[in-house]
Amino acid sequence: MQHLLAIVTLFMTAYSLFGEDTLPPKSVRAEWSELEALKFSEWRIEEFNGWAIPFDGGSKVFFFKSSTGKAFDVVAANPAYWTKEDKKARRQVFYVIHNKKFYKLKEGSDAEKSLISMLQEFRPQSIGTGKKDPRLIEQLLERIKNRKPMFKNKLN
């Protein structure tokens, strides 16, 4: 029974991820203004809780907790989440996830500047090893700033 459940879950997940032309699915996308209404730009990072690769083809997700107690994730999205323009420009796409909603981090935006400031401010005080290694925050910062793709596979 567990194997059947695992297979059904696998197919349902794959369909929900790849059933639409653009990822993330419309049902979980949100406008940045919704996150800003929660005063995201005023949050400070209190904890870096590591990273993982979800079952979506290879995105990298970094887990954080703010000083207000709110959890949020930063996603370096795999190319399935990129627009045609992003692929053509070979521009890494990032999202912030909060309360199961995806907020696209637009290059050069005030939101991007806020996130960069948060990460820069937190970096000197962060500690940990392995998937919580502070050097991972440096690497994430560098990728957000330069938008170079993290993925080596064909983008077009």
Cα gap 94→13, rounded to integer Å: 21
H or E element in which residue 116 lies: helix 110-122
pLDDT tens for the chain, 156 residues: list them.
Answer: 333 223 323 333 444 444 545 688 999 999 999 999 999 999 999 999 999 988 877 899 999 999 999 999 999 999 888 888 988 999 999 999 999 999 999 999 999 999 999 999 999 888 888 888 888 999 999 999 999 887 665 544
Cα gap 27→77, rounded to integer Å: 17
Domain boundaries, the chain: 22-146
DSSP structure class, residue 25: P
